[in-house]
Structure 1
Amino acid sequence: MQFIETAKEISHLESEMYQLSQLLSEQRALLSTLGSTRTTGVVFEDLLESQQENSADSMSKEEEQKQKLIQLIENVEGALSLAETPGRVCLHEGSLLELDPIDGTPLKRIHAYLFNDVLMVASWLANGGRRGPPMYKMQAVYNLESLAIVNVRDHGTVKLAFKLLAFSDTRVFQCATATSKKEWLDKCEQAKRTKLAEENSVNAPEKHPKEDKAVPSRSMSLESNTLGMEDDDDSEYYEPLPEWVLEVAEDLDSCIAQRHFEEAYGLLEKAKTYLKDAQSTPLLTEIQTKVNERGCSLVNVLTKELELSAEAKSLQGGGLRSARRAVKLLIQLNRSAQACHLYLRLCSAVLKARLERIKEEGTIVAYVKQISAIAFSNIVEIAREFLKTFPKSTNCTSGLVVWCSQEVKHLTSHLSQQLFVPKVTLSTLVECIVTVRSHCDQLTQLGMDFRYQLDGQLRSPLAKTIKDAGENCLDTVKRHVAEDNWRPTNMETSQNLQKLLTELEDFGIGIPSLQTNDCWIPLTYNTITFSKLYVNLLEDCLSIATPELISTIDGVLVSVMRVEVQHLIVSLTDPKLKQERKLVQNNAAYVRDVIIARGLELYKSATNQKFTKLLALKEQIVFESPSPTKPKPAPRTSVPKYSTTEYL
């Protein structure tokens, strides 16, 4: 019995121990979770604190640099705005003596500040005997990108000096000691290199990994004693470089800044020739890089000069001749295509400026004659100047042909807007087009013919104008035909008669054999009006005839003549006009034998072809002309002597 109770107690104790074990494991897991949470929180808090400290340090450093910069330039009047640029630091400062760049005489004392991006020059201010630091006034600020610092050799009274070259400004400064001069030159060169490296890193960030791989590490060069010994051995055999080679980069900067482009090109070619034949050394490699950079700089300056010339608002007559200098140098620098493009761009600007001076005054004929003469004469002049500038360049010559074609196209488009308007008659249009064609033929002197291009641009509007003129003439002829009363024309006075005869003679359709006495002409008003109108239309059309327009011209001339021919044929057979038959025959003979004959003659001389359609109309005018022979006598048995009284 006691054994059973003991067993029950043991079983109960085991269950309690199991529950206690479960509780302990849960507590252990909870404690581990809490421990990890606290640790993570501490880590994050540490990171946040470190980031805040770093940002605070960077902010404090920037603020500290800004405060130092403000303290440095607080004595410079007008220079506090320079401290607003973030990241700007002062690399060097000092007092200098400015010299005259021509004769080297002292001018004044200045104080210069070299920053990492600009160079500031300040002049001294008188403090009126007051104690304290000297005061300055900001005089000029130069960007390091467009600034060149050139060493000046000691000569005469000019010693320990260097030259500051900026666009349109050249200044010479003298240092107090040789150490000061060396510091200025080194600091300026270092600042420019740093600025250039920053720009290259921004413009080409992908190139840095490759460059980093190509450059050996410092540790490798130090550990490799063998390589170092070989370099030392090789350096013993290097010949000393000439002084002009060592200073060629500075001399090129000086020539380019002073716009001595020919000297710069000569020095550049001399340096390239020397470096090509010289033994390669690290120093020569560095000089080669500098020379190539100066060559690119020279090309950029020459290119910019041509671009500015083309964009100038007022272009003088010698603009092309003055540009020949820059173009010649670009050709020598193997930039012919670029020089050709910029030169032709300048030519377009010059031509546009000259044409804009022409005012639209007076008649349209006078304006077209003036602008056409000036445009084509200038194109010829520009083309000749171009051929002198690019004498042995086939590619550039083809560019000239394309340019001339474009200018002719622009001119033709402008003239089309002025000519093809309703108020301009066909005669006026013909006079203008003939003038433009004659001026365009001037280009044939240089071996360029743009007549086909000119006629091609004018073809469509010209064909439409010819058709419109033909329709107007057709309406006029129909109206006169309807009003024709078949009466001879009375000129009233001999002066009017002579004036009409002279006018018809000028057209080549004179009527001397038909005139009668007392100022009467055996031609109707309709016939006289039609004759002048048709011959005038014929001459205008043939003056501007081209193989592409000849079909349109034929249709217009035939349609107008057909109306008059049909009127004559109907009148010749009209029984109501029996009394006026003689007058009708005279008018028909004049139209057939004079007007149409004149048309065939002009057409043949202009096109060297027969006008078959007009010839067919001529053959339709058929009538019995009065017999020139004497009448036969009547038989003796007849009573009257003549059968008719017509010949009495």
Structure 2
Amino acid sequence: MPGKGHNDSDQLMSRPRGSASDAGHRGAREEKPWQQQGASGAQRGAAEGQATAAPRQPPRPHGCRPFPAPRHRGGQPSKHKHREDEEDEPSAEEEVVDLSLEWIQELPEDLDVCIAQRDFEGAVDLLDKLNEYLADKPVSQPVKELRAKVDERVRQLTDVLVFELSPDRSLRGGPRATRRAVSQLIRLGQSTKACELFLKNRAAAVQTAIRQLRIEGATLLYIHKLCHVFFTSLLETAREFETDFAGNNGCYSAFVVWARSSMRMFVDAFSKQVFDSKESLSTAAECVKVAKEHCKQLSEIGLDLTFIIHALLVKDIKGALQSYKDIIIEATKHRNSEEMWRKMNLMTPEALGKLREEMRSCGVGNFDQYTGDDCWVNLSYTVVAFTKQTMAFLEEALKLYFPELHMVLLESLVEIILVAVQHVDYSLRCEQDPEKKAFIRQNASFLYETVLPVVEKRFEEGVGKPAKQLQDLRNASRLMRVNPESTTSVV
């Protein structure tokens, strides 16, 4: 057997180096330098490229061959690189960005100078120039660092512009005093913030102007001043807003919300002076009329806030109508309780002429047929006073009218008229004296055939549509005319 072993060792020594069987017997032993020198030039080049492109690989298991480096057709190396190469080595595009220009190097300091000197336009111009220069450039690390420095200046500039829009800084100059700061904020891409600050500034200005008004003299005089100050400020604000935010359609909804809030502030001051102080209905009607006329000025710029002022005033106006209705009813009942059914003697022609003029202004054109010889009027004082008071109520109420108050006004008129009609009806049925009964019937005819048609016509003219309740009330007089001796109430 020794001879056999000797022959085997001779065979092993006679095998060529680097063969597969020899590599299998050697296991994981490292190659010798002379074995590496025996490798081909192509293999050595691939090994050197692999050693430089990637970290050292662990030893291969026994019998495994190394994988060759990936190649493209034509023997070109692969474009796939390790992440370390991408992070450590700058790309060709990044090297194109030239930040060594003098104006770029001095940009942060120039921005500081512009902000300190309140040259807001110059600062924004520099920012626009930088953004335009970097628009088509890749975002490299130097660019990021430059952006960080510039963003800090943008924040400082924004803070200064916000301060410029504070009420303490720009109240005296009106809406135009805010234009400079607003325009620069919009250029910085902060139109929403500019809109919010502008409207807050104007709200404070309007509130200050209203508070500075002195409450002196007649209420109507104060309301004229209040409406002039408020609606003029609102109109100027709307025009300035349209100029500053012409290209920002999303801001218009914010202006509408602001206008509604400002209108509420105006109505609070208006109602406190007009309705809370218990002014007469005629004064309240004149004040509301003035407010409506000023509100129509806003239609010049396409802004209609009439519906808002109606909605905010409806509660106070409704209360005023009902309160004045109660006053008329109480006064009518008091006169009815003292009714003697006698003709009026005005004593002088001047007094009679004045009464004719008053009745003509109320819409009663046929009053002359109820006048007698000298200074006598063939009507009761109670009926004449009721006519003047009812027509005055209707005229003042129509100045306050808007659709939301339709039923309130109509029901108030019906209640007032019923008080007089019921009194005449009751007196006609209860009176036994034929002469007085004829006089009562003449007064009833005046109410049904003259006063009620005038009320119905004037209401339809003021409202724009007829009132069925008034028609029904007038038609109820037919029973009295057909059967004047009836003891049944027509109401």
Structure-1-length-normalised TM-score: 0.57
Q: What's the counterpart of residue 458 of structure 1?
A: 313
Q: Label 1:563 to 1:285 Cα distance change in 2 as closer, same or farther (>3 A).
A: closer
Q: What's the counterpart of residue 433 of structure 2?
A: 577
Q: Label 1:577 to 1:251 Cα distance change in 2 as closer, same or farther (>3 A).
A: same
Q: 2:102 aligns with which of 238, 243, 256?
A: 243
Q: 1:447 aligns with which of 282, 287, 302?
A: 302
The AA in structure 1 aligned to 2:455 is G
> Residue 287 of structure 1: CA displacement?
2.4
Q: What's the counterpart of residue 292 of structure 1?
A: 151
Tell me, in whole angstroms, the C-alpha distance in 1 between the residues paired with 2:326 and 2:97. 93
Task: Give the 5 Å matches for 1:482-521.
Answer: 482-510=337-365, 511-521=367-377
The AA in structure 2 aligned to 1:478 is K
Q: 1:558 aligns with which of 407, 411, 414?
A: 414
Tell me, in whole angstroms, the C-alpha distance in 2 between the residues paired with 1:549 and 1:341. 36
> Residue 335 of structure 1: CA displacement?
0.3
Tell me, in whole angstroms, the C-alpha distance in 1 between the residues paired with 2:134 and 2:165. 30
The AA in structure 1 aligned to 2:168 is E
Q: Label 1:240 to 1:528 Cα distance change in 2 as closer, same or farther (>3 A).
A: closer
> Residue 469 of structure 1: CA displacement?
1.4
Task: Give the 5 Å matches for 1:97-116.
Answer: none
Contact map agreement 1:494 1:519 (CA 8 A) in 2 = yes
Q: Label 1:519 to 1:246 Cα distance change in 2 as closer, same or farther (>3 A).
A: same
Tell me, in whole angstroms, the C-alpha distance in 2 between the residues paired with 1:228 and 1:434. 76
Helix, strand or coil: the match of 2:379? Answer: coil
Percent identity, aligned pairs only, is 30
Q: 2:327 aligns with which of 466, 472, 492?
A: 472
> Residue 293 of structure 1: CA displacement?
1.9
Q: 2:271 aligns with which of 389, 412, 416?
A: 416
Helix, strand or coil: the match of 1:358? Answer: coil
Q: What's the counterpart of residue 76 of structure 1?
A: none
> Residue 577 of structure 1: CA displacement?
2.9
Tell me, in whole angstroms, the C-alpha distance in 2 between the residues paired with 1:235 and 1:562. 93
Q: What's the counterpart of residue 527 of structure 1?
A: 383
> Residue 524 of structure 1: CA displacement?
1.4
> Residue 612 of structure 1: CA displacement?
2.4
CA deviations over 1:501-547 (Å, ceiling 9, x no partner) = 11111111241122112111111111111110111112222332233
Tell me, in whole angstroms, the C-alpha distance in 2 between the residues paired with 1:261 and 1:453. 39
Q: Is residue 311 of structure 2 the alignment partner of residue 311 of structure 1? A: no
> Residue 578 of structure 1: CA displacement?
0.9
Tell me, in whole angstroms, the C-alpha distance in 2 between the residues paired with 1:444 and 1:393. 21
Helix, strand or coil: the match of 2:270? Answer: helix
Tell me, in whole angstroms, the C-alpha distance in 2 between the residues paired with 1:238 and 1:575. 111
The AA in structure 1 aligned to 2:238 is A
> Residue 238 of structure 1: CA displacement?
8.1
Tell me, in whole angstroms, the C-alpha distance in 2 between the residues paired with 1:379 and 1:289. 42
CA deviations over 1:152-179 (Å, ceiling 9, x no partner) = xxxxxxxxxxxxxxxxxxxxxxxxxxxx
The AA in structure 1 aligned to 2:344 is T
Q: Label 1:226 to 1:501 Cα distance change in 2 as closer, same or farther (>3 A).
A: closer
Q: What's the counterpart of residue 267 of structure 1?
A: 126
The AA in structure 1 aligned to 2:422 is Q
Deviation above 6 Å: which 4+ runs of structure 1?
Answer: 225-229, 233-238
> Residue 616 of structure 1: CA displacement?
2.5
Contact map agreement 1:571 1:577 (CA 8 A) in 2 = no
The AA in structure 2 aligned to 1:304 is F
Contact map agreement 2:115 2:157 (CA 8 A) in 1 = yes
Tell me, in whole angstroms, the C-alpha distance in 2 between the residues paired with 1:300 and 1:486. 82
Q: Is residue 200 of structure 2 the alignment partner of residue 345 of structure 1? A: yes
> Residue 576 of structure 1: CA displacement?
2.3
Contact map agreement 2:99 2:105 (CA 8 A) in 1 = no
Q: What's the counterpart of residue 432 of structure 1?
A: 287
Contact map agreement 1:488 1:523 (CA 8 A) in 2 = yes
> Residue 294 of structure 1: CA displacement?
1.7
Tell me, in whole angstroms, the C-alpha distance in 1 between the residues paired with 2:95 and 2:277. 90
Q: Label 1:226 to 1:454 Cα distance change in 2 as closer, same or farther (>3 A).
A: closer
Which blocks of at least 5 consecutive residues in structure 2 are unaligned? 1-83, 483-491
The AA in structure 2 aligned to 1:470 is K
Q: Label 1:529 to 1:230 Cα distance change in 2 as closer, same or farther (>3 A).
A: closer
Q: Label 1:334 to 1:485 Cα distance change in 2 as closer, same or farther (>3 A).
A: same
Q: 1:537 aligns with which of 393, 399, 404?
A: 393
> Residue 356 of structure 1: CA displacement?
2.6
CA deviations over 1:325-353 (Å, ceiling 9, x no partner) = 11111111100000000111111122223
> Residue 230 of structure 1: CA displacement?
5.5
Helix, strand or coil: the match of 1:359? Answer: coil
Tell me, in whole angstroms, the C-alpha distance in 1 between the residues paired with 2:288 and 2:87. 83
Q: 2:247 aligns with which of 392, 406, 412?
A: 392
Once the two structures are overlaid, the 10-residue window that deviates more, 426-435 or 490-499, is 426-435
Q: Label 1:422 to 1:247 Cα distance change in 2 as closer, same or farther (>3 A).
A: closer
Q: Label 1:296 to 1:482 Cα distance change in 2 as closer, same or farther (>3 A).
A: same
Q: What's the counterpart of residue 463 of structure 2?
A: 607
Helix, strand or coil: the match of 1:579? Answer: helix
> Residue 298 of structure 1: CA displacement?
1.7
Contact map agreement 1:569 1:621 (CA 8 A) in 2 = no
Contact map agreement 1:565 1:617 (CA 8 A) in 2 = no
More strand by share: 1
Helix, strand or coil: the match of 1:424? Answer: coil
Contact map agreement 2:352 2:375 (CA 8 A) in 1 = yes
Helix, strand or coil: the match of 2:403? Answer: coil
> Residue 387 of structure 1: CA displacement?
0.3
> Residue 229 of structure 1: CA displacement?
9.6
Tell me, in whole angstroms, the C-alpha distance in 2 between the residues paired with 1:571 and 1:602. 28
Root-mean-square deviation (CA, aligned residues, Å) is: 2.8
Aligned residues: 397
Contact map agreement 1:515 1:522 (CA 8 A) in 2 = yes
Tell me, in whole angstroms, the C-alpha distance in 1 between the residues paired with 2:334 and 2:264. 41
Q: Label 1:415 to 1:236 Cα distance change in 2 as closer, same or farther (>3 A).
A: closer
Helix, strand or coil: the match of 1:522? Answer: strand
Q: Is residue 223 of structure 2 the alignment partner of residue 364 of structure 1? A: no
The AA in structure 2 aligned to 1:550 is H
Tell me, in whole angstroms, the C-alpha distance in 1 between the residues paired with 2:209 and 2:292. 21
Helix, strand or coil: the match of 1:548? Answer: helix
Tell me, in whole angstroms, the C-alpha distance in 1 between the residues paired with 2:94 and 2:464. 88
Tell me, in whole angstroms, the C-alpha distance in 1 between the residues paired with 2:412 and 2:94. 94
Q: Label 1:435 to 1:230 Cα distance change in 2 as closer, same or farther (>3 A).
A: closer
Q: Label 1:606 to 1:279 Cα distance change in 2 as closer, same or farther (>3 A).
A: closer
Tell me, in whole angstroms, the C-alpha distance in 2 between the residues paired with 1:235 and 1:399. 44
Q: What's the counterpart of residue 102 of structure 1?
A: none
> Residue 422 of structure 1: CA displacement?
5.7
Helix, strand or coil: the match of 2:171? Answer: coil
Contact map agreement 2:371 2:377 (CA 8 A) in 1 = yes
Q: Is residue 231 of structure 2 the alignment partner of residue 376 of structure 1? A: yes
Structure with bigger RCO (C-alpha 8 Å, 6+ apart): 2
CA deviations over 1:567-612 (Å, ceiling 9, x no partner) = 2223333442312234223222221222111101011112233222
> Residue 368 of structure 1: CA displacement?
1.4
Contact map agreement 1:275 1:288 (CA 8 A) in 2 = no
Helix, strand or coil: the match of 1:263? Answer: helix
Contact map agreement 2:383 2:443 (CA 8 A) in 1 = yes
Q: Label 1:236 to 1:540 Cα distance change in 2 as closer, same or farther (>3 A).
A: closer
